[in-house]
Every structure is written in structure tokens, then in C-alpha cells.
A and B are shown apart, each in its own frame.
Chain A
Amino acid sequence: MTEPASRLSPVLQASQVALRYPGQSRAVIAGFDFALNAGETVSLLGASGVGKSSLLRVLAGLQAPTEGAVTMNGAPLDGVHPRVAVAFQDPSLLPWLTLEKNVAFGLDFKHQPKLARAESAARVEMAIREVGLTQARRKFPTELSGGMAQRTALARCFARKPEILLLDEPFGALDEVTRAEMQHLLLKLVRDFRTAAVLITHDIDEALKVSDRVLLLGGAPASVIGEWRIDLPKPREDLIAELGAIRVEILSTLRAAAPRRAA
């Protein structure tokens, strides 16, 4: 079940990470080990409240772990790295900016790589084209549907040409059809930009559809309680049968872990 150590050196690595929020007696996460390889998409799957978002914040450098270390390309991650992009469940668009300005948001921040004006304009245009919103680029967020807003959030991530993309249940608030569309879009973007991605989700099917590996989080404090490699071509709409076996395994691992969580 456990993946043999990869030949490649990982782009993002966590070793023995633990996180305890100040003022709380128990850690949310403990003994979390993780490695993300270049170009790979990994899902972190887990029940509500298990600590997925907390973990993502640690991987993003938004939150320092209480114990252990996170390294990016071998160097310790202290704070947010300019080549890591994060997308949250809420698209977090700024209502006073047009779609285009929202996508450009942050490109010229001090800690981001310096870009010539023409280069950043070109990147914004390219990212908006990639998510198919060129027609809507002058609209304001209140004029966008939920799916369009989340596309905009993805475009904002990809305009930065990130090496690593971290997504925290980005499609959680979308309807079934839009969600499937967005999963397709994510696959395309990750492939076109050769981005390594971590997708946090509580939807097993979503994890099975988009990822090369699925890590199951469980226990309290949370750690990895199961890992599956999925070597099937993407997109995987027609491979439900092949995925069925893994799905059953994940569910039974979850069930086996559940009493331990309750205790």
C-alpha cells in the first residue's frame, strides 16, 4: 500500500510534522510525512474537521508547524514561497476589482518575482484564456457565477506560473456539473503548466478522478492512514469500474479508522 521512495527528489516535503494550536491541549496533526514530486497531483482525503485545512496552511508556509519541518526543493520553507499558489474553497475575489484585475492581483507584490509590465499583462491574458473567461474579463465579481468565480481564482493562481499549487476544497461549493467541469479544467491546467498540485477534498470520487496518488488522513491527531497510487490515464470518466476497487478500499479504511477517532 505504501509508495516506494521516488527516484526524483520531491519538490515539497514534510517530515514528522505536528501542529498544535496555542491554547489547545491536543495536537490537530502529528507525525505527518509527505512528499510531492514534480508534476504530480496528490489528494489529501479526510473527514470534516480532521485537520486538512490546517495541514494545507502548514504546507503553504502560512502556518509554522509545532514540530517537524517542511522543505521546498530541499530548502526549509519559512513563510509563503512565491512559487507556491494557494486556492481556497472561497474564490476570495476582491469585489472592487474586475476579473482581469483580480487575476493580476499580487503579481507586482514585493515578494513576488519581478516581472516587466508587458510580461505580467501577457500572463494575465494567457491565464484568463486558459480558463475560458476572455469574454468576461472586464466584469466584476458580483456579475460572475460560482463556477466563473472559481475559474477566476484558478487563473489568478496560474498567472503566477506556480511550481506548486495547493487547493483547499476549491470546488466544494459548486454544483455537480460545474464541479466536473472544474475538475477537467484543473487537469488541463496542471498538465499545461507542469504544476505539482495538492488537492484537499472530502470527496472520494474527486480524489480518484484527478490525482496520481491519494493520501487518506485520519485519527486524532491526524496522520496518513492510507495511501494509494492511481496509474490510470486522465481524464477518467470512463474508468469508474477500474476505480471501484480502490474506492471500496478507501471506504473500508475510513470505516476502520472511525471508531479510533470516536474513542
Chain B
Amino acid sequence: MSISWPTDALTHAKRRSFQRPDWLAPPAWRNAASGLGGLLALLALWWIGTDVLASSDGFIRHFSPTAAIPKLIALLSGPDLPVHILVSLRRVLVGLGLALAVGVPLGLAVGRFQRLNAATSPAFQFLRMISPLSWMPIAVMVFGVGDDPIYFMLAFAAVWPIVLNTAEGVRRLQPAWLSLASSLAATRWETLRHVILPGVLGHVLTGLRLAIGIVWIVLVPCEMLGVSAGLGYFILDTRDRLAYSELMATVLMIGLLGFLLDAGARALYRMATRNA
């Protein structure tokens, strides 16, 4: 079983143990500048491929940044795209909420009971490797057409990293914390509420961040099947209307929102673990 760690968890730990004086640390702006440079280079490649190298009346011109970016701005102030964005974000939130509601208790139990871990871990690996999209026909049969099968598929995709990371968090709880709780005659609930949950929070958030990445990727194809709103639906809609610069603008929007969601998850993780 492999659990991936976000690299900032590692750099965070390193910063703590070395206690490098602030003036020696590489300035944060330099990293930010490098990152920005990379994004600009990406934009330049996109522009060169679709604008500079493309023939002036070519089909490919529809996909260029000079067409897509103004279109995106126009779409964002129009009536449609904001609605599709909100619908998609709501699905993501519901899917993640369900995944947390199932994944955290399950992860706590799996982390706590070695036997349960042994019994479930091959099954989880098996289920985890099934593309959530392959459940689509079954999900529609069970939940009917509409949002419900999408919630199911998103939650199904998101639950595994949350379960695995929560369980790992429980295994890494310091025995001293648990001794402390029992020496204070803590009830089960008090131990859970005051030691275990705050103790695994960092791991849960790591799982959540991975889950957000997966959900955002699974969302778009999910929305291409049997619904009439959302970013995935809108992609197909622009195609059918032959509105190619709108299509490209939507692709750009999907990337942008995913980027922001991940940044949000990262900020949340950093906030929650700043003292650990």
C-alpha cells in the first residue's frame, strides 16, 4: 500500500528541524517567481502552437489564447458559465463531503484495529483500482438519472485516499498521547474528540487534498453523461454548437478552478499543521 505525501509536508518538517535563520532561507518570492515563469512559458507554447505557427485562417486558431482568454472573460460575465461552475463545485463539495463522512470513520477503524486492516486492505486496493466511471451504468440504474449517480461516483473516487491516509494517521499517533488520555480517565469519546481527531487531522487533510485532485479529474467525464449542467456538460455543449473558442475557454476554466481548489487544500493543510 502506498500513501503519497505532499512534498510541502516534507519541506515543512525540514524547516522545523534545522531552524535555519530566516535571512538564510531561500526567499519565498524566488520560488513563486520560478513558478510564474513556468506558467508564462506554458502560455507562450500554447500561443506559439495555436497562433504563431497556425495558418491565419486555420481551424486551430479557434483554440488560441488570443481567442480563448477574451472569450473566457466574456463567458464569466454572461449568464451560463457561472451557473455551470456553481453546479460543478456543488457536486464536488457533496462528493467530498460524502467521502469524508464515510472515509474518516472507516479510516479510524482500519487504523485502530490491525485485524480489520488486514481484512480490508486487499479489498480496498481492488475497489480503488476500478475507475469510478465504470460504475456509471450501475449507478444510474440504482440512483436514477440526475445528480445522485454523480455524487456516488465522486464519493467513490474520493473515499480511498481519505481512508488510507486517516488510517495511517491513526497508526502514527504517539502512544504517549493515548497514555496521557487514559491517565486522565478520558472516556472513549473524549479520547476520540481531544486526542485522536486532532492528532490525525493533518493526515485527513493530506487525504482530502489527494481526493480533491481525483474528484476534479473524474468530475468532467461524469458530467458528460446524462446531465444538463456542469462544466463537463458545457464542454459537450460548446462542441455541439461548434463554439470552439468557448470550448477552449472552458478547458482553461477547468484548469484554473482545479488549481485554485488544490491551492485551497494546501493552505488548509498548512494552517492545520503549522504547530505540529
What is A's interface to B at a CB cutoff of 8 Å? 60, 62, 79-82, 85-86, 88, 90, 92, 94-96, 105-106, 109-112, 140-142
Within 8 Å by CB of A109, from B176, B186, B201, B275, lies: B186
Interface residues on B, range: 20 to 34
Supply 8 A–B pairs (Cβ within 8 Å), ascending by A.
Answer: A79-B185, A80-B185, A81-B185, A85-B183, A92-B177, A96-B275, A112-B184, A142-B16
Residues of A within 8 A of B194 (CB): 105
Residues of B within 8 A of A141 (CB): 275
Interface residues of B in 177-211 (CB under 8 A from A): 177, 179-187, 190, 194-195, 198-199, 201
CB distance from B184 to the nearest CB of A (A): 4
How far is A80 from B183 in the complex, measured between Cα atoms in Å?
6
A142, B275: Cβ atoms closer than 8 Å: yes
CB distance from B12 to the nearest CB of A (A): 11
- Asked if A80 meets B184 with Cβ closer than 8 Å, knowing A92-B176, A92-B177, A92-B179, the reply is yes
Give the A-B contact count at a CB cut-off of 8 A: 59
Top 3 A-B residue pairs of the complex, sorted by shortest distance between their CB atoms: A106-B184, A111-B185, A92-B176
**Interface residues of chain A: helix, strand, loop or mixed (majority):** loop
How far is A96 from B200 in the complex, measured between Cα atoms in Å?
11
CB distance from B179 to the nearest CB of A (A): 6
Within 8 Å by CB of A80, from B182, B195, B199, B275, lies: B182
Residues of B within 8 A of A96 (CB): 198-199, 201, 275-276
B187, A86: Cβ atoms closer than 8 Å: no
Residues of A within 8 A of B275 (CB): 95-96, 140-142
How far is A142 from B147 in the complex, measured between Cα atoms in Å?
46
Within 8 Å by CB of B183, from A62, A110, A142, lies: A62
- Asked if A106 meets B176 with Cβ closer than 8 Å, knowing A94-B195, A95-B276, the reply is no
Residues of B within 8 A of A92 (CB): 174, 176-177, 179-180
Residues of B within 8 A of A94 (CB): 177, 180, 195, 198-199
